[in-house]
Every structure is written in C-alpha cells, then in structure tokens.
C-alpha cells in the first residue's frame, strides 16, 4: 500500500494563478482531509469529506475548493492564489474518527 | 481561540533521559486525544492516543497521561533516543456528532547523544 500520496511536492505560483493539489489514498478510507501548516503553527483544517460526493468546510476554507467524486481522490483547488496561501499542505485520510494517515505534504509558495 | 495548547515550542533532552511533552485543552467536550510525530519534509505520523475514560495509555517507550480535571495531558518518552528528535503535535476530538481533530502548535523535541 502506498497510503496517502500527494502531488506535487513543491510548487511556486504567481499571485492570481490557480492550481490543483492532488491527493489519492489506496486504503479505502471514507474520510479525507486537507490541512495547512504555517510556520510555528499547528495544522489548520481547510476542508474534509466523509465519503464520495460529500464535503464540508473546516476552519480555514476561504480561497479553496474541493471535490470528492471517488473514494480514492480528494483534490484541493486554489482559484486565485494569494501570498497568504503560502504554506505546507497536508492531505490525510482515516477509516473512521480515529487516527489520521497523512501524506508527505506539498510546499506551496505564492509570490 | 486556541482550544489545544502546547506552550513549550521546544524541548532539549539528553539521550537516555525522560522527555515530557505537555498539552492543555480548553474544550470540555474533547473526549479523545492523540499525539503525532513529525519529521522534517514528512507528514505527521500517529504515535499514541487516549480516550477520556482512561487516565493512562502505554505503548513501549511512550506513555500518555490524561488529567481531565486539569484539562491536561502529557506524553512521556522513556528512555529518549536521538531518533525521537522531531516535532510532536497534540490533537483532540470532541464527542459532539462527527468531529474533526483540533491540533496544537507542536513542540520540537531535540534529543542529544
């Protein structure tokens, strides 16, 4: 099992550009999450999904969109990149409400 | 409003000694607590958890203690090893319906040989 796979690992965007962060998991987990981690800060929840076709906002959803058309994939979309979105993004999945399994992260810089 | 607080940004310990990482919470609805470990350029990995019906959970060198009245939990690592050097995140989940995890800011542990 590969677990949770995130692509790309690094990306530099210009202000106003858009991009999609990809996340896929092969553990057949129903629950998936997107977090961001700013320097010296904890993980902040952006969006989560409890199953295919169901998504909900987390603590910091502004500027992002998600979709969940399959159990495996949970892409995160940035429509108009802003410097405030410079962060490390982590995707995670879980079989239930217990522990989360994280991907290795995407480091995004918006300049 | 920070519901999960890790007030020590960093901790230095010598190899073989005990490491104690602390975490405080404010939300009395939290009933499940987890510790995650994170190495640079990697995602966090689950370490140990504890339910509010317990006050202690042990897994090898790692023990988590929960003091519900003080809304405080701690992670003890005995003996500490250089490979334990990482950032440790405390996380909590509430018992109200479906609940996501709330994370603290993390404590960087450095274990020196």
For residue A103, the chain B residues in CB contact (below 8 A) are 43
Counted domains in chain A: 1
Rounded distance between C-alpha atoms, residue B110 and residue B113, angstroms: 10
Residue B50's pLDDT is 96
Residue B37's pLDDT is 97
Which pLDDT band holds residue B25 (cuts at 50, 70, 90)? very high
Residue B94's pLDDT is 84
Rounded distance between C-alpha atoms, residue B15 and residue A104, angstroms: 28
Q: What's the average model confidence in pLDDT over B28-55? A: 94
Interface test with B, best of A40, A42, A87, A94 (most B CBs within 10 A): A42
Interface test with A, best of B100, B107, B108 (most A CBs within 10 A): B100
Give rounded-to-5 percent helix, strand, coil for chain A: 5, 50, 45
User: Of the candidates B6, B93, B106, which has its C-beta nearest A97's C-beta?
Assistant: B93
Residue B95's pLDDT is 74
Q: What phi and psi values does residue A85 have, to the nearest 5 degrees?
A: -95, 5
Q: What is the mean pLDDT of chain B?
A: 94
Q: Which residue of B has its CA nearest to A38?
A: B105
Interface of A with B in 11-50 (CB under 8 A): 33, 35, 40-45, 48, 50
pLDDT greater than 70 at residue B97:
no
Residue A96's pLDDT is 82
CB contact under 8 A, B43 and A58: no
Q: Which domain holds residue A96?
A: 4-110
**B93 close contact with A: CB closer than 8 A:** yes
Residue B33: C-alpha distances to residues A86, B10, B88, B94, B101 (Å)? 29, 21, 13, 9, 9
User: Of the candidates B41, B42, B104, which has its C-beta nearest A42's C-beta?
Assistant: B104
CB contact under 8 A, A33 and B106: no
Residue A41's pLDDT is 86
Rounded distance between C-alpha atoms, residue A92 and residue B5, angstroms: 22
- Among residues B61, B55, B92, B91, the alpha carbon closest in space to that of B76 is found at B61
Q: Which domains does chain B have, with CATH numbers?
A: 4-112 (2.60.40.10)
Residue A29's pLDDT is 94
CATH of the domain at A28: 2.60.40.10
CB contact under 8 A, B104 and A101: no
Per-residue model confidence as pLDDT tens digits over A2-52: 899 999 999 999 999 999 999 999 999 999 999 999 988 889 999 999 999
CB contact under 8 A, A4 and B89: no
**Chain A nearest CA to B106, separation (Å):** 6
């Amino acid at each position: 099992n590969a677990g949770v796979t995130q692509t790309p690992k690094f990306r530099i965007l210009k202000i106003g550009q858009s991009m999609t962060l990809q996340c896929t998991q092969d553990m057949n987990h129903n629950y998936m999450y997107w977090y961001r981690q700013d320097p010296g800060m904890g993980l902040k929840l952006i969006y989560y999904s409890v199953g295919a076709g169901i998504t909900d906002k987390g603590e910091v959803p502004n500027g992002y969109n998600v979709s969940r058309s399959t159990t495996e994939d949970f892409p995160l979309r940035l429509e108009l990149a802003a410097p405030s979105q410079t962060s490390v993004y982590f995707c995670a999945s879980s079989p239930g409400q217990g522990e989360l399994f994280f991907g290795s992260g995407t480091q995004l810089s918006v300049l | 409003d920070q519901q999960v607080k890790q007030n020590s940004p960093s901790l230095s310990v010598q190899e073989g000694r005990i490491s104690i990482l602390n975490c405080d919470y404010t939300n009395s609805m939290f009933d499940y607590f987890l510790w995650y470990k994170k190495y640079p350029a990697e995602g966090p990995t689950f370490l140990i958890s504890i339910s509010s019906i317990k006050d202690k959970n042990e897994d090898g060198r790692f023990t988590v203690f929960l003091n519900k009245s003080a809304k405080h939990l701690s992670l003890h690592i005995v003996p500490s090893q250089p490979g334990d050097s990482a950032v440790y995140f405390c996380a909590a989940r509430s018992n109200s319906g479906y609940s996501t995890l709330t994370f603290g800011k993390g404590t960087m542990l450095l274990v020196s040989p």
